Structure 1
Amino acid sequence: MKPYRVPQLARKYVEYDMIQQHTEMPAFPDSRTRLLFMFLNRNAQELHASEEELYALVTSLLQMGLDTHDMIDTLSGIRSPEEMRSRQLKVLAGDYFSSRFYQLLALAGHITTISKLSDAVCEVNAGKMSLYWEMKHLRLNAAQYLTQMVHFKKELFLSFTSLVAEQDREVWEQLLNEFALCDTLAEEWHKRTESDKSRFGYMFWHVYSNGDQNERELLSESGSDTDVWHKLVLKYKAENAILNKLQTTVTHIRQILSDDQNTGIEEFERMLEPFLKLLNSPHPVVREG
């Protein structure tokens, strides 16, 4: 099997001092990118030389572009010069990452692939607009929120399902869904302590879905008290809900692998390491202040 080196190839496009020094960037989508590379590589006889690497690279860059734009704050109010610079760099960086997929595929003559990925981007953006409307009108529950976020994380990668060997497609789609879920839950965990980022995240919808009418009204107020929020997170064990769901997902991935005789487990165990590390680390929880 050809060695996986997409993260190293991506560095020349995503690692710029100006960006890294002055704004926050999303994590590289390694598990989904590696998964795409692995399944395309298993069908390499149907692809031209190094196409699996090119497709994994451009998809990861495009995903980075979408994720970077998702990090742009939409809050109104006065911003400091540093905050304005950070925001502007996110806009530019997201555009830059996204444009690279087009350039690399065009140079290689893969016009059909450009069209497929562009259609996937349109699908993701339309879905996000619909989700934001549902969020604004408080018409979601935690499960619906999570399903939509996972959909956004796997849509680009699903563009290549037709290039996966037919006998592998079912397990490919299953594993892509589960690793996208792991990535989503890890993101939700890492942003849990920042109230501006966790608002309307998974913990919010978990609490909102389980809370009584009075608690829902408190949550619906845009300027709801931080202490109230922390108490509700503690009451409804919102942090534990993330970890429990992540543990369940990891277990499900291992079950899929054990049921599929054609899938090597060792490589996937390496892909699970970041999530196992998160699960096995000590977790200070929100305390009542």
Structure 2
Amino acid sequence: MALNEELELVYHQLRSELNHTYVQTILPEPTIDRDKLAIYYLLFRHQETKESAAACAKSVMVAEIGLDTHESMTIEKQVDKDLIKKRQLTVLSGDFYSALYYYSLARQSKLEVVKWVAQAIQSFNVRKCSFFYSTSHLGWAEIIESVKKIESALVEKIACQLGLIHAVPLLNDFFLIKRLIFEKKSQAELGQLSYFSQKLVDGVENVSDKLDQEIKHKVACLSMALDQSAKHSGMFPQVVNYLHARLITLAEGFEERTY
């Protein structure tokens, strides 16, 4: 089976496993970051069989989805019963996804991965708190660096634990670029702001122009780094090839504003 077919199979398996009829009558289907799922699979595939790599990748991705689901919960005071119910179900569904990854890994006897993810989530929470509750003003470079650390908390941990530390800078930059493009898209669509965009707006002027410049700069730097890594015999080639192909697609979409 070709790699693309393997990744497609893992994606559809995860969609099926996340299917919960009652939850989906209230909340939209959870969003699966296919790039993160693919990277997790490639990282685990470096040491595991296809079946084991798929199980681990899906489990860690569920943990990511649990974090994302909790992030989507609103904090405004609500009096409408349906909105209150939706918020309560959002919390419960986030808990459901978080518990699902523990259960899935335990069935695979991958208790060490449970430990890695727990440590990564702790790091994620610390980094987010430092970012949002910083007592000092953050400059543009500090904001970008903080966003990068938050976006890749789980990916970085898994890569390091699997002995692929050399891939971490590439992965961090790739997922930072994805987040920055998302921020740019959010601003373009009726002025919507994500929580990261709001932080940027609070501390930086001309956010849109600075995002444009930052994205172009990061894309150019990562493209060069990937070209260099492709020549390095010690680099895991499937990760490099995947990132390179996806970076081209993201960059083209950004330039054409199709995202």
The aligned counterpart of 1:176 is: 171
Assess, with a 3 A threshold, how the Cα gap between structure 1 residues 15 and 149 changes in structure 2: closer, same or farther: farther
The aligned counterpart of 1:205 is: 200
Assess, with a 3 A threshold, how the Cα gap between structure 1 residues 249 and 19 changes in structure 2: closer, same or farther: farther
The aligned counterpart of 1:187 is: 182
Q: Which amino acid aligns with 2:243?
A: F
Q: CA RMSD in A?
A: 3.0
The aligned counterpart of 1:152 is: 150
State whether residues 43 and 159 of structure 2, in contact with CA within 8 Å, keep that contact through their aligned partners in structure 1. Answer: no
Partner Cα separation in structure 2 for residue 24 and residue 267 of structure 1: 29
State whether residues 186 and 193 of structure 2, in contact with CA within 8 Å, keep that contact through their aligned partners in structure 1. Answer: yes
1:83 CA displacement: 2.5
Q: Which has the larger radius of gyration?
A: 1
Partner Cα separation in structure 1 for residue 250 and residue 43 of structure 2: 21
Assess, with a 3 A threshold, how the Cα gap between structure 1 residues 15 and 282 changes in structure 2: closer, same or farther: same
Aligned length: 247
Partner Cα separation in structure 1 for residue 86 and residue 13 of structure 2: 25
Assess, with a 3 A threshold, how the Cα gap between structure 1 residues 138 and 14 changes in structure 2: closer, same or farther: farther
Assess, with a 3 A threshold, how the Cα gap between structure 1 residues 204 and 127 changes in structure 2: closer, same or farther: closer
Partner Cα separation in structure 2 for residue 19 and residue 179 of structure 1: 32
Assess, with a 3 A threshold, how the Cα gap between structure 1 residues 102 and 48 changes in structure 2: closer, same or farther: same
State whether residues 68 and 94 of structure 1, in contact with CA within 8 Å, keep that contact through their aligned partners in structure 2. Answer: yes
Partner Cα separation in structure 2 for residue 253 and residue 99 of structure 1: 35
1:107 CA displacement: 0.6
Runs of 4+ in structure 1 over 6 Å off: none
1:27 CA displacement: 3.4
Q: Identity across aligned pairs (percent)? A: 16
The aligned counterpart of 2:213 is: 244
Matches within 5 A, 1:1-289: 2=3, 3-4=6-7, 5-24=9-28, 27-41=31-45, 43-44=46-47, 47-48=48-49, 50-75=51-76, 77-134=77-134, 139-162=137-160, 164=162, 169-170=165-166, 172-192=167-187, 193=189, 197-198=193-194, 201-202=196-197, 204-205=199-200, 208-210=203-205, 236=206, 238-260=207-229, 261=231, 262=233, 263=237, 267-272=242-247, 273-274=249-250, 276-281=252-257
Task: State the TM-score, normalized to the length of structure 2.
Answer: 0.80
Assess, with a 3 A threshold, how the Cα gap between structure 1 residues 240 and 79 changes in structure 2: closer, same or farther: farther
1:190 CA displacement: 3.7
Task: State the TM-score, normalized to the length of structure 1.
Answer: 0.72
State whether residues 140 and 205 of structure 1, in contact with CA within 8 Å, keep that contact through their aligned partners in structure 2. Answer: no
Assess, with a 3 A threshold, how the Cα gap between structure 1 residues 20 and 130 changes in structure 2: closer, same or farther: same
Partner Cα separation in structure 2 for residue 21 and residue 180 of structure 1: 31
Offset from partner CA, 1:204-242 (integer Å, 9 cap, x none)? 5256334xxxxxxxxxxxxxxxxxxxxxxxxx2x22322
Q: Which amino acid aligns with 1:184?
A: R
Assess, with a 3 A threshold, how the Cα gap between structure 1 residues 163 and 107 changes in structure 2: closer, same or farther: same
Name the SS for the 2:138 alignment partner: coil
